[in-house]
Chain A
């Protein structure tokens, strides 16, 4: 449905988005993940025709942002990052203004408004000035603005930033609800957020896509990071022989405490050395207190991709 082709954006000499390519299918919920300044917002701004790309194109169905910007804008509902609203208006006035700007016929306005405030839970504040609302409610108004014209594509730029935990849960529920019938693109720098609501995650760092896939795919594709934590009492130095005895393993750290020691053994995720390691422990005289395998979290994938200057070949 949406194709992003070689999309590039330069701000003066700084390349904010660097030749990114990806497709979004109809009905997908895409999480656009990356640290601050990775180029998420810039990409979304280009998709909504607010900023023109330096190079590349965005194609929605058969339309492209150069020749059919207006038609594309009609298909999209967009909530910018800072959730800008006309503070002096009441919620009703604002939504009325948006519905006119979105060419909703006056005869339909009542029913559209009713549906929108039902979805976003704004009924209790409809006649209040926006400036008096809490941040969570303001965010709902922003969402209502983005969905009022029943767009096929909804783009939300950091929809939960700055909200308290309860509000975050509420907004996430709302987003999930919306995702049932729409193509949804959500940007975030918080992993849990996209994990909670998205089918697919696109990770972007320094303007480049470093990973693209479902949560499971991202985890599975991430090699060399299986960790076994072994907590034991006994001569700590003996663990040095593990890599010799069991090829394919590596000692990643060894911590000696007063009573016990903890060693972390690393091996690639497509093999499981737990039986061999258990056999080795039996053959020594150390006392095993605890042995646990650490599942690679998506968090770690995200960290290694974005902090260590991730390499897209690794995934």
Chain B
């Protein structure tokens, strides 16, 4: 087993685990809980390797003061990075404790066994617990990798159902979210954003608002405008008064040209993608193989879509007045990367990173880079205006909807040539989009944090460069897992697009997989080959074939749907071609007006070794439902004067009445590494829906979202 990258960066054993004298243990991770259940899975891994009861373990998530830097919680990487690290570290700690116990008990290590932290040997009365042996002590040593983690057949806890850590407080209303933080002397902030990205503040009457009840301070720095008040409703009232008095000058309009035109017309940087990696080789022209009997083309589109967290972004910040305190600013945040955020805050505030402590605190589910980082700088700017008083700042719903970085619009052009048997000979994929990764990283003279762009001395966003990481942003999952003799995949990073964008769950993978898996369905239909069979004919990876077959079997693939207007569709992907495998079969009904109703969904997934099966199912099903919402309903609407999708009425998402029944089949691979699963079902879901619609009414939907209007428009274009 190779060493986890997290462990290479953080080899100190003490940074991962502390054993306390009272028989409890604290497990540390540099990742954060975002509703994906990572604390539960990590605690289970540690409990298993250490042979202690799961309930003894408390998990502490990322805090710059604790030093455990695992950068971002993103890209379905937490199980592979933190999970693998914890597995290796706790196996080693168990071994060290056994060696200590052997000396203490005067028994050979081989004779010792552990039951819930109690070390003993059969047929002797000598025992000692981990906490008697080592409670409150430190190892002061680095990981050396000599101990071997358990094999799956030795597991006693992994595989058994466990409760989600903290669920009692989630359902009891006592969970402590960042929005719920209490401090004596807490002040409340609210932001007044410009009406549009390019509006400058020309006039605002602060005197009148300053006199409103409870107002402590109005903070104005360029077009960054905010208010701090004693009570939350006072801050809200003052903010709306400021908003009314503010006059704005629109410097530039949002470009409302059809986004599908902008994506192909605007200046762009194009790179060839080989094996999922962008390279500098010349981009070949599209060639049609001589054996080809048919060449097909199709274009697929995704609009801008939002994270849409139910709880708007929030941060709490405190500027210390105490002298000799090395930490001047403390920020509590639900950011997915507290260490990178600390550096970005330091840069934006012209401070030293060591002067800032950034502590993770759970917020509402975020699904990528939403407003969490931005609001942290907002709160810090307010806290700096009233040193010594903590300021809690929550964005209003409109702030979240209008200012979060959206999932970028995408356009994908596909072309494939097939031989007489319908086998694909060549495959061409051109994907056009904006940057998918704009998480804050400081670059000299630039900042990735929203408020920096609005201050009197602005730090504009860093220049966009094409991401060259394997399956990075735009090109994530653009390279299909299928075996085609010829593949030509090109990513196009397009400039001057109208809306702010960054990482939304799956990044480019959602639309790339939607396109690939819809097109595979089209090619199968043209070749008159069953869609499942057609995929299998182009796959060599047995685990890929296994999830497809498992989903098909569960869904009764091939059995007729007798009701008119109903259809079934299948789709598949392996996230980033190296993480969780997932296949989705969706059954839909389409009525005479073009309303699509999701009836039933089947997921089959292979996430390697399963740690927390119920948590895994929650991630897979949750991903499917969110993707179904993107597919059927979601599109950020805007006009020259600004964003029109300002609330849940103007940006509707899937409701209880629209969610399908879901059945999930898990394929456990106890001897295989963990494969991140949080983004596995998103892409296949969109394609399974579009393929099911074709099966139902014979219409190919290629532009998301599939609203009734879109279905009618597509039918009218036939």
A, B co-complexed:
no
